Structure 1
Amino acid sequence: MRTQFCSNMEKVFQMTTQENEVTETRDQQDSNISTPPRLMCPSSHSLKQQLFRLLLAFGILIWISSTAVMISFISSHRILINHLLAVEESNLQIRDSGKPKTYRGKVTYQHWGRESCSATAELVYKGVMAGGINKFLGGGVNYLCLPEQPSYGFTVPDIQVYMAPIGATVYRGLRNFSTMDHLHGYEAFCSVCLADQNAIFVMPAQSTCPSDWTLEYSGYLMGSRSNRKRTEFICVDVNSEGRDSTRNISSGLSEVFIAETHCDEGTTGGGLPCPPYKNGAELPCAVCTR
């Protein structure tokens, strides 16, 4: 069919050429004898080459477009992709190690009695120790570390009756305790510390920490006096400091006394097992992190 089409087209082209030549002069026909051009019909091989080039160009265009779309997607979702890669890397490490990976965090604690922190911790702020006032039944039972410079909001002038009283904390009952007797009557310092650890606890009745734990500081357990309102027990640094200007003040607003053990007194109960505890012994403590 292709050959017949090409032949017919060639005949038509020749007839058109002959009609045009009749109008020319006889001299021009004699002197300029020309062979009418032949209509070239493309071969099957040429058509295949053109089709191949067209398909190749189309494929390259699709590849360039898809690459541009992928680059745009990656650029707009870079944070999400980085997060997914980090999660996958973490999962690989967990599978490789055979146990969950431990991620280190940070913990804060109050360093009672000192304006500084241990060598392994960072000072957040320092201040003065405060608590509920002894002569009032109400108020808080916990101790606070108030910063050196407060920042007030709305205030009402003068002392109000229906408020929760809070005052400076003073060391008491240390005259017969030679390790810390120089602090009797002093107002207590404090600081808030930030440790690069995951967990923290107070170890009572010991001045050291369990194995694999870091000792932040050691001291003695302290709380309120037996005939005063209850407060929490806190671990006060054995090397505590006090405000010099408040030495031997007569009326402490908030007080701390060293905690001591009471052994089991027969059928009355309420005491600790002795031994191993000793009756009337002051209890040490340690602040531990890991």
Structure 2
Amino acid sequence: MRRAEFIADDINIDDSDVFHFTAERVLYKLGFDYQHNQIWKYAHVCLSISICFTVKGYGGAVYTRWGKTGCPFKTQLVYKGIAGGTHYSHKAGPANILCLPDNPEYGNHTPGFQSQGAIYGTEYETKQHSISFKHLHNHDVPCAVCRSTTKTSVIMVPAKMSCFPGWHVEYTGYLMGGHYNYAASEYLCVDGDAEKDRSGHENKNGQLLYLVEGVCGSLPCPPYKNYWELRCTVCSK
């Protein structure tokens, strides 16, 4: 790749010793026409001097880190909060789970409960498991929304503890979801080192998260194992 000389005024060194530049300055000094060159789709430019120069402002992949209040290295915390969803006993309603911020804002208000749309907090239901999640039973689930500063794509890969070639691990965890006899919910990748929300341990129910186990039959075994908890990994690129 083409070697480039950068003047001191262009350089801003952060704690990770990665040099950041504005996109226009990097491409100009590399001799690229940035309006027409494919390099715009890349998050970084590595020079022949073996130093990786990250294009400032690139990245942008956003994901929720379930079970944690902070974000991994080289990501920005957008906000932190608590997981919220449909009450486990409801027969219908939204199936997705949201990361509700710690500092909600409200508009107009109608007094009383209209018995229509509703959202509840979310608890771990893990007392029957011997793995590290057992101590989280009946505690509320925290969450953090994270933005990568260097990656543009993100996926959650179930049943894996690693990423496929070319992808970077953001975090690993355990696959969790609702009980098969309760209201529908989505599958979440909850961090393997999950935390408790500060609100404590009161068994207030709401949306409930259970560890997901594979069941042989239509699910091929091997490679899957009957009644083993499934892992998961959030990967970026």
What TM-score comes out, normalization by structure 2 length?
0.76
Q: How does 1:103-142 map to 2 (within 5 A)?
A: 103-104=42-43, 105-142=59-96
CA-to-partner distance for each residue in 1:111-156, whole Å, 9 max, x for gaps? 1000000012100110111111112223210000000010001111
Structure 2: tracts of 5 or more residues without a match: 1-23, 44-58
Match 2:143 to one of 187, 190, 199: 190
Q: How does 1:135-284 map to 2 (within 5 A)?
A: 135-161=89-115, 163-196=116-149, 197-247=151-201, 249-264=202-217, 271-284=218-231
> Distance between the aligned counterparts of 1:244 and 1:148, measured in 2?
11
Percent identity, aligned pairs only? 34
Letter in 1 for 2:33: E
Letter in 2 for 1:242: K
CA-to-partner distance for each residue in 1:226-271, whole Å, 9 max, x for gaps? 1112111010001111125431x3340111101110101xxxxxx2
> Distance between the aligned counterparts of 1:146 and 1:155, measured in 2?
19
Partner of 2:68, secondary structure, is: coil
Is the 1:224–1:231 Cα contact (8 Å) retained in structure 2? yes
Is the 1:235–1:286 Cα contact (8 Å) retained in structure 2? yes
Q: Does 1:90 align with 2:34?
A: yes
Letter in 1 for 2:225: K
Report the number of matched residues: 193
> Distance between the aligned counterparts of 2:66 and 2:182, measured in 1?
21
Q: 1:91 to 1:125 in 2, by over 3 A?
A: closer
Query: Following TM superposition, where does structure 1 have runs of at least 4 consecutive aligned residues deviating by more than 6 angstroms?
Result: 85-88
How far off is 1:200 after superposition? 0.5
CA-to-partner distance for each residue in 1:30-71, whole Å, 9 max, x for gaps? xxxxxxxxxxxxxxxxxxxxxxxxxxxxxxxxxxxxxxxxxx
Structure 1: tracts of 5 or more residues without a match: 1-81, 95-99, 265-270
Partner of 2:132, secondary structure, is: coil
Structure ranking higher in helix proportion: 1
Look at both structures and tell me which one has the larger radius of gyration over its CA atoms: 1
Q: Which has the higher contact order (CA 8 A, sep 6+)?
A: 2
Q: 1:139 to 1:91 in 2, by over 3 A?
A: closer
How far off is 1:216 after superposition? 0.8
RMSD: 2.1
Tell me the equivalent position of 1:79: none
Q: 1:137 to 1:206 in 2, by over 3 A?
A: same
> Distance between the aligned counterparts of 1:156 and 1:90, measured in 2?
53
